[in-house]
Amino acid sequence: MIPTKNAKLLAWVAEVEAMCTPDQVVWCDGSTEEYDRLMVEMVATGMAIKLNEKLRPNSFAFNSDPSDVARVEGRTYIASVKEEDAGPTNNWIDPNELKEIMKKLYTGCMKGRTMYVIPFSMGPVGSPIAKVGIEITDSPYVVVNMHIMARVSTKVLEVLGDDGEFIPCLHSIGSPLEPGQEDSRWPCAPIEKKYIAHFPEENLIWSYGSGYGGNALLGKKCLALRIASAMAGREGWMAEHMLILRFTNPEGKQFHIAAAFPSACGKTNLAMLQSTVPGWKVETIGDDIAWMKQGDDGKLYAINPEAGFFGVAPGTAEYSNPMALASCRKDAIFTNVVVTDDGDVWWEDMGVECTGGTDWKNNPWKPGMKDEAGNVIKGAHPNSRFTARAELCPVICEDWENPAGVPIDIFVFGGKRSTTIPLVHEAFSFDQGVYMGATASSEPTAAALDLGNVSLRFDPFAMTPFIGYHAGDYMQHWFDMGDKLGENAPRCFYVNWFRKTDDGKWLWPGFGENSRVLKWMCDRVEGKVEARETPIGLMPIDGDLSLDGLDIPAEDWAELMKVDSDLFRATLVDARAYLAKFGDKLPARIKKQMDELEARLG
């Protein structure tokens, strides 16, 4: 029985069915029975590997095709009506042209397969900040992951009603089956036929050819950031690539922090931080995305639109992020990791021994194995993932599903810089905070070989690949939100956990000790401590950021807090050069902040 009378939804499903010609259509209900049935089916076909029930209860591993292991930025498009509205950070194709290309690919693409209709809510079902999406897919892997990552249920259809609005998300792996044809273990289309297309004016997502991660779980980056950022710009709210945490002091006062960091800067670690400050407690609300709207009291309220964590596995360990590891102790999905000989999972830098098993390519594997060229073969893909239920995180906040959201007190931006940027500084104003977010930067890593000889990689608000419209208009929207919030706007800070000595030694211990920096921020918000003015912002007065119990020599602390005007002027030159590409769309208030910073630096 079809579980809805929503005419628009029924017409869309019928249109897609006629175009894609699946063998059958299944409306998903989000039930445990549905999840279990699909897993049994995928184990039977060899797509899924059932893990050892005693070691990893109700958990499964998948290995993707080697051509389908990550987001494909070069095949990801913003198809706005006008090219200028996509801006310089996006790939643009005319929407009509792109639809013609993709309709040809979609024609008959689900032949021999089941078409699943997934009703899902991004955010608690019925929340005034949440949005309803409907994903159509021919991938059972997508269905089970969406069960964890979004709120999939018939309740979503009840909220939608007979005439409610939804965001249509069409996905196909692009691998039709002829009668009698044997299916591959991970069906997908070749790279030149992969498309992840966003039509922001229509709130529409079309994805074809990839079965992996954000290319296929369309509630995540596609809806929750690219489409949502464009919606938020039009509707006056915020969709951001930010973690959300609650930090509670010994007196029980709660502070809510939203933080944006470029990749490899410890975002998930901070979201699940174990505080080392006596009496202070961190609780996780979200590890990746924040949707924020102004409440009736004038404050900014945030929800985590997701229901799970889609975390990078390598490097997740007991010492780095025990809470993330605990979140996937059961009921989890693992993609492109090692399946050990005893039926558990393993990845590089997990911090536990592994004697061997099968690697992410499904080949026999042992630690230290080398290829013909003598290179060590990694067991897990560098972008291997775990899909874990947020409710299983030991430090999940009791209000993480509060439909009203939590009031944000603090915005934190950061990057990975071995020099120049001190451990922490606070913006003089919200406008300066926007400038900090707009110029968030990291030093290029070996993974960024396409950048050439640039000294910095800028990633405004950690949103570069996810802004669904012109980045200059997006930055202006931050200023507009600040104006709207007025005195209720969150205080803005910038952090850098990654300062090093000249000989490459970390100056700051990081991990749980970062809670000391968060405490100073909260003390600033509460008016408990003053700050000293520097050309770049407000910084801790010695003694206000507690170092009790840490072995940090005075000269190291001085280096951590050093503001070198010459180095900052060089960074400002890089920032001006980067921001120039936004042309006339670069907000005048960004230019004003750069000029004022230059004047303060002397």
List the CATH number of the domain containing 479.
3.90.228.20
Residue pair 174/189 in contact by the 8 Å Cβ criterion: yes
**Of 170, 204, 236, which residue is a domain's last?**
236
Shared-domain flag, residues 170 and 206: yes
Express each pLDDT in 320-339 by its tens digit. Answer: 999 999 999 999 999 999 99
Q: What CA–CA distances, in Å, run from 184 to 2, 64, 97? A: 31, 11, 31
In a domain, 596, yes or no: yes
Give the integer Cα–Cα distance in Å for 381 and 447.
14
In a domain, 141, yes or no: yes
pLDDT for the residue numbered 1: 86
HSE-CB at 480 with a 13 A cutoff on CA atoms is 15
Shared-domain flag, residues 277 and 215: no
pTM of the model: 0.97
Reported confidence tier of residue 141, pLDDT bands at 50, 70, 90: very high
Shared-domain flag, residues 155 and 20: yes
Shared-domain flag, residues 228 and 249: no
Of residues 329, 327, 345, the one with CA closest to residue 337:
345
Distance of alpha carbon 98 from the chain centroid: 26
In a domain, 267, yes or no: yes
Express each pLDDT in 73-92 by its tens digit. Answer: 999 999 999 999 999 999 99
pLDDT for the residue numbered 525: 98
pLDDT for the residue numbered 454: 53
Shared-domain flag, residues 214 and 246: no
In a domain, 144, yes or no: yes
pLDDT surpassing 50 at residue 60? yes
pLDDT surpassing 80 at residue 451? no
In a domain, 418, yes or no: yes
pLDDT for the residue numbered 452: 43
Mean pLDDT within 577-594:
98
pLDDT for the residue numbered 307: 98
**Bridge partners, residue 243, by sequence:** 259
Express each pLDDT in 268-312 by its tens digit. Answer: 999 999 999 999 999 999 999 999 999 999 999 999 999 999 999
Both structure tokens of 482 = 């600040």
Q: Which residues participate in catalysis according to the annotation?
A: 265
Range of the domain at 212: 7-49+69-236
Express each pLDDT in 213-231 by its tens digit. Answer: 999 999 999 999 999 999 9
Name, in order, each residue with C-beta under 8 angstroms of 1's C-beta and a sequence gap of 6 or more: none
Give the integer Cα–Cα distance in Å for 222 and 216.
9
Shared-domain flag, residues 179 and 277: no
Shared-domain flag, residues 164 and 209: yes
Neighbours of 7 (CB within 10 A): 10
Shared-domain flag, residues 424 and 571: yes
pLDDT for the residue numbered 455: 72
Q: How many residues does the chain have?
A: 602
Shared-domain flag, residues 425 and 567: yes
> Which SS3 state, helix, strand or coil, does residue 370 take?
strand
**Of 205, 236, 267, which residue is a domain's last?**
236
Neighbours of 299 (CB within 10 A): 18
In a domain, 372, yes or no: no
CATH number at residue 74: 3.40.449.10
Neighbours of 591 (CB within 10 A): 13
**Of 236, 252, 268, which residue is a domain's last?**
236
pLDDT surpassing 50 at residue 450? no
Mean pLDDT within 202-208:
98
Higher pLDDT: 65 or 266? It is 65
In a domain, 359, yes or no: no
Give the integer Cα–Cα distance in Å for 235 and 249.
35
Shared-domain flag, residues 249 and 125: no
Shared-domain flag, residues 88 and 224: yes
Q: Are strands 333-335 and 60-62 parallel, antiparallel or unpaired?
A: parallel
Reported confidence tier of residue 23, pLDDT bands at 50, 70, 90: very high
Number of domains the chain is built from? 2
In a domain, 54, yes or no: no
Shared-domain flag, residues 94 and 225: yes
